[in-house]
Structures are given as C-alpha cells and as structure tokens.
Amino acid sequence: MNTLKPKLFQVMKGYTGGQLVKDIISGIIVAIVALPLSIALAIASGVAPECGLYTAIIAGFFISFAGGSRVQIGGPTAAFVTIIYGIVQTNGIDGLIAATIMAGVFLIIMGICHFGTLIKYIPYTITTGFTCGIGVSLLVGQIKDFLGLEMDSVPSEFIDKVIAFAKNINTTHLTTLLVGLLAIAILIVFPKITDKIPASLVAIIVTTLLVKLADLPVNTIGSVYGELSSKLPLPHLPNVSFAMIKSLISPAFTIALLAGIESLLSAVVSDGMIGDKHNSNAELIGQGLGNIFSGLFGGIPATGAIARTATNVKNGGRTPIAGMVHSMTLLVILLLLMPYAALIPMTTLAAVLMIVAWNMCNWSTFFRLIKTSPKSDIIVLLGTFFLTVIFDLVVAIEVGIVVSALLFMKRMSDTSEIKAWKYIEEPDITDGEAEKLLSIPKEIRVFEINGPMFFAASDRLADINSKKYTKVIVIRMRAVPAIDASAMHSLHDMADRFEKKGIQLVFSHVNEQPMKVMKKDGLYDKLGADCFQPDIVAALNYAETLIK
C-alpha cells in the first residue's frame, strides 16, 4: 500500500519552519499566477468565471493533499477547454459535473490498479498531436472576445466557428482590439524585463485600469456575466439520467486519460527540477479525488499544471503544503476580491489564453517530428492533430491509439522472421556447434525464428516446410521473447501437419515465456519433454538419434 500513500505524509518527517515559510510564499505567488488563468479557462470552456476558481481551490487542494508529487499544482488547464465546451453544449452544466465526477472515479480506479506506469505507453506523437490541436482550437476560440465581434453565439465545431468568425469579421471593435494588442505586447515583452512578477497579472492590471479610468467601451467579465459570486457553493449532485451517464462515459474516460497523462508529465518534469521521484499511482488517486470534489462543488475537470508547478518549484515550494496554500489563497481572493474581477476586460483574458495556446503548440517540436520521424509516426501525429482540431479530442485519442497500435504491430511483425539454416558459420555459435552445422544430415531441417511470435506474425510459421526426405525439423527459438495464442494455434496446426507426414518436431532454446505458454497450451506434453532441448547442439544430437 506504500505505492498509494500520498506524498504529503512521506515528506512531513523532518519538516522545518524555514521550509514552511518558503512553501507559504511560493503558494501565494502560484495563486496569483493561477487567478487569471483559472477565470480565463472557465470562460473559454463555456462556464461561469467563478467555476475556474472553484476548480483551482477544491481540486488544487485535494491534488496536493492526496497526490504523489511533492510540488504538483493542480487546477484547470487549457487541455480540457475544447472537450468541456463540447460537453456543456451537448449536456449542459449537469452533464459536465457528471463527466467530471466520472473522470475522477476512473482516475482512482486507474491508480488502485497501478496504471500509473502504463501512461508511458501513450506514444509521444499522439500527445504532441492532440496538444498542438488543442492549442490551435483554443487560440481560434478566443477570436470573438479578442476582436470584440458582435455575435449571438459561437458554434462548438471548429470549421463552423471559423466560418462564423469570417462572416462577422466586419463587426470588429477597434477599441477592444487595441486593448487586446496592448495585453499581448505586455505578455510578450514583460517576461524579458523580469520574471519575478507574472506577466498575465501585469497585463490584467494595466488594461483593467485603462478601461476603467478612460471609460472605454470594452466588454468586461461583469458586463458579459453580470455580478460574480464571492462565495464557495455547497456540494451538490447533478441532475442526470441513465442515458446521459451512458453518453458521457467516452468523454469522461478521455478526461481521465488526459488528466493522467498531463499530471504525470508535469510530475516527471518537476522531478527533474527538484531531484525527487513522484509516486504515479498515488498521483492518479489524488487527481481522481480532486476531480470528484471539483465536480461536487460546481468546478470543472482539473489536472497537474506544468507552468504553475514550475512556478512553485522556482519560488521555493518543496512540499504539498505549497499547493494547499495556493488553494487557500485563491479561496481568500474569491471571498474578498471577486467583485473586482468583474472589471477585467474580456479581450485581455482572450489575449492571455492566446499566449497560453501558442506556447502549448510548441511548433518547433511539432515540425521537428515531421522532419525526422518515420512515415508511420508522421501519420499518427498529423492524424491526431487534425482530428483534434476538426472533430474533437475524444475521436483524436481513440483513433490515434488504435492507429498507433496497428502500426506498432506491423513494425513488430516485420521484425519477426523465420529462416532455414544453411551450411554457414555464425559468430555466436557454441563450442562444437560449427562442426554440427557442417554435418547436418539431409533428413534434418533446421529453422530459426527471430522476434516475437504473435497474431500479426503467426502466418510466418507457414515458411517452415519439409523436403520429401525430411524426418526431423529442428526449430531454434533463442531469439523469440514471447508468443501468443494465435501463434500457438499455428504451431499446433504445423505439428499436426508434420505428424501426418511422419516428421518429428524438435525445439531448441525455448525462452521462459514461450515455454510457459507451450506447457499450458499442451504442446509440450503432446510432443514430449525430449523434443525441447536447451541448445542447438543438444537438439541436433537428439534429432540424429531419431533418424537412426
């Protein structure tokens, strides 16, 4: 059970007052960074601005309290925006709450089943493809607020969204655009001056003061969403039906998978920064609890946020206490300062998310993969990217994983080969082996199998054939690490075929996994123990006794 033990309880031994001060300071700084992002991500997701803070407060606290990383900071992230928006458009807020809770349950199950290490089997091309796709979708989604377009509603589908923006481009509000460009300029230039103060906070303060003091006709959070709530809601369950829950299983699982991938990637990055090792399964359970409680309190899906986690590390945070302080700080801001958030210009939040989206895309990595990867990987990368942009993340991940699996099986089957021995010398033969190879009687045929034998490669066993004078076929399997049921079925068929011809099969150097499968499947008993020899010399000696 130590693998599921939260990191908080492992690091408190020897905790000092000096580290407490550092954690508190770091937690406050991270909260300041998280504040505008949480509000902006909630708005971009199609929910009320407060929901982003609810998520950062509730989910952020539980992810730190019960997670498996010392420094992970949890909350809403840009990766969820497109999928959340689609769920809200289809099933409303109750559907989103249900999907968030379901995703939390999936994450806990994944943690209990020790799936933490399995996340690494998601190909890098898929994560890069859908991350870039999410970035493009998020960036395009900000055009309405950034330009101040006069539109009643924004379609959820990417192509429909682009067409709608193009039709309404003539309604661009110049003042709104100029304020947005000012925010972009601050977000790009200010980090080059200093990284001590978050550029997003500076952009929000400057543009908010400008709009307020100059009384500029620019939409703000308050003018669009009305008065913002300054209290934490009571937990409640969503009003859902069985049909809705059934329809939400796929998106909820995608949220869980995405949360697991992003949180564990963030944990790996932070491990390198502090020289620690996170507990992946405990982290999944922490993420699950965070999402369940986020949903119960009206929040949205959450995961570990790489940028906020890195900010925590850079400012001295070294234990989960920093993440919990970050949540408490945001709670104080919610209770005391939320009315002032209504003054923030919508175009500024759009500008913040545009920069986040651009950084998400990481185009240098994207194009490097296109230039250097095999064609099969490029297909997965571009396929996942375009499916994410044009359709949605659920389709992209499902298709990406299936295509990657098929291509992987194709590559594995290509590495599997069966070749008949000829009278040649091999560099790795054992003592006495060379002489045996040069004096193999014609009644004995030797075949060597290289690579795993599974369903995609089992048809290769048809390459093992006999001559009219063949009495024994020796199959060397030292280079076969694994075998599956399909290959075993082919082996049985081959054994039956040769038995009818009066030909005996002898196996040489069968590795542990194939031997275990052969015994369990009955082939070992069918042929007899003598037909399974430890090496090729012993196999050939036994074969010669058979033909005599």
Whether 538 contacts 506, CB under 8 Å: no
| C-beta atoms surrounding 243 within 10 Å | 8
DSSP 383-401: HHHHHHHHT-HHHHHHHHH
Q: What percent of the chain has pLDDT over 70?
A: 96
Question: How far is 18 from 194, CA to CA, in rounded Å?
Answer: 26
Residues for the chain: how many in total? 548
pLDDT confidence band for 438 (50 / 70 / 90) = low
| C-beta atoms surrounding 126 within 10 Å | 24
Render pLDDT for 221-280 as a digit per residue (tens, 0 to 9). Answer: 999 988 888 899 999 999 999 999 999 999 999 999 989 988 988 898 899 889 889 999
Question: How far is 407 from 427, CA to CA, in rounded Å?
Answer: 33
Render pLDDT for 395-420 as a digit per residue (tens, 0 to 9). Answer: 787 788 888 888 877 877 777 788 87
Nearest to 187 by CA among 431, 381, 352, 398: 352
Question: How far is 85 from 42, CA to CA, in rounded Å?
Answer: 10
Decide if pLDDT at 2 tops 70: no
pLDDT of residue 437: 57
Comparison of pLDDT for 33 and 413, the residue scoring more: 33
- The predicted model gives 26-36 an average pLDDT of 92
pLDDT of residue 395: 79
Decide if pLDDT at 107 tops 90: yes
Q: Which domains does the chain have, with CATH numbers?
A: 2-406 (no CATH), 417-547 (3.30.750.24)
pLDDT of residue 432: 58
pLDDT of residue 464: 87
pLDDT of residue 426: 45
- What is the reported pTM? 0.78
Question: How far is 504 from 530, CA to CA, in rounded Å?
Answer: 11
Q: What is the mean pLDDT of the chain?
A: 89
pLDDT confidence band for 157 (50 / 70 / 90) = confident
Render pLDDT for 175-202 as a digit per residue (tens, 0 to 9). Answer: 999 999 999 999 999 999 987 788 888 9
Question: How far is 82 from 99, CA to CA, in rounded Å?
Answer: 14
- The predicted model gives 12-23 an average pLDDT of 91
Question: How far is 471 from 423, CA to CA, in rounded Å?
Answer: 18
pLDDT confidence band for 428 (50 / 70 / 90) = low
Comparison of pLDDT for 350 and 458, the residue scoring more: 350
Render pLDDT for 453-499 as a digit per residue (tens, 0 to 9). Answer: 887 777 888 888 888 889 999 999 999 999 999 899 999 999 999 99
Decide if pLDDT at 522 tops 90: yes
pLDDT of residue 471: 93
SS3 call for 363: helix
